[in-house]
Structure 1
Amino acid sequence: MNQSAWPFLVSRNLYLDYRTIVAPDFMSQTKISNLLARATDGDLTPQNTAILRKIIGSHFGDFIVIFRIVKATKSDIKQGDIEEILKDPFGREIYLIEGLVIKDNLNNDQFNLDIFDKSNQILKEGYCQFWQQIEPCPAIPSQPFKIQKVDVNKPIFTLQNTDPFIIKNKPQHEYSFLQKYELNNPKKIITS
């Protein structure tokens, strides 16, 4: 297998709701990284399981996301006990949605559990930075890495396929600005 994968992370902190924190460089540059936050919601994933979802209709083509949803702990922000779950101001548990973006068709339907370990460092650093934020900021760009061939001697996780996330493009209009027609003079266009 010689595919590339870009790490991403979606979560929240005490002040900002769920959003994309780390995103592939090509998504960060086009400022559409929040697409990942919209496409990867859900409940906690069982241990040794990840979700596979195809994203259809983006302006840079279709792609696949593989992600898992886990509880955020104090160790994720480098503050003490690994087991203590982070909570929002209302007492709700905070989740981390950590995953990989794959631009090509998937060559394999099995992955070793350690596939997420390759991206863990950038995701943790990104989350630590985000934890301190009180105002929205752009997603941190991630770089791709090569997915290794499955090692049958290492633990493998189960992929749960979910319905594709389809992006509906807005229709193109003749004018890219808002138009208002004056009632008395329908030929006059006022732009705002």
Structure 2
Amino acid sequence: MLVAPDGRAIGSAPKELVHGTDTPLHLAFSSYVFDTEGRVLLTRRANRKITWPGVWTNSCCGHPMPGERLVGAVVRRLSHELGLTALDIDLMLPRFAYRAVMDNGTVENELCPVYRVVVAGEATPNPDEVGEVAWRPWKEFADEVMSGELTMSPWCSEQVPQLVALGPDPLKWEPADPAALPEAALR
């Protein structure tokens, strides 16, 4: 779903047409999966991915299908990419947006609300999507990202400081009001 900077839907386009050197702003999501101990699940993107192949990132990202709610897209992608079923899904950063350019000129340009997901069980990565997974204590992971010791995808590197500002315990973060989502995500 293509969106205006104010979050209004302005059209749609196939995924393969919106990840190039002139990527229009489009709707996506990011999710951070936690276990009941508060560890975060990190993933290394599969080497076949168009954007940031082989790069470590947050748990799961994706795009809603036309007419699909973002929470539905989170559920669908968690199952497809990681074989996981969510116990809880909460909106954390309703208006996160970023633009990043790869060395080859490919651009990501997304209005990308961020979700916290709590799961029980282990991930079963889909090798077409995920090359590797690792569970990490949140504080250790966040400290390493914030200090620059750990290099993550550009969107994850921008999201972590905003999530850290929500408090030290990710399982106690106060969810955002879904009404704060961009208009395109409320359809």
- TM-score, normalised via structure 2 length: 0.28
Flag the structure with more relative contact order, 1 or 2, with Cα contacts below 8 A and sequence separation at least 6: 1
Q: Which has the larger radius of gyration?
A: 1
- TM-score, normalised via structure 1 length: 0.27
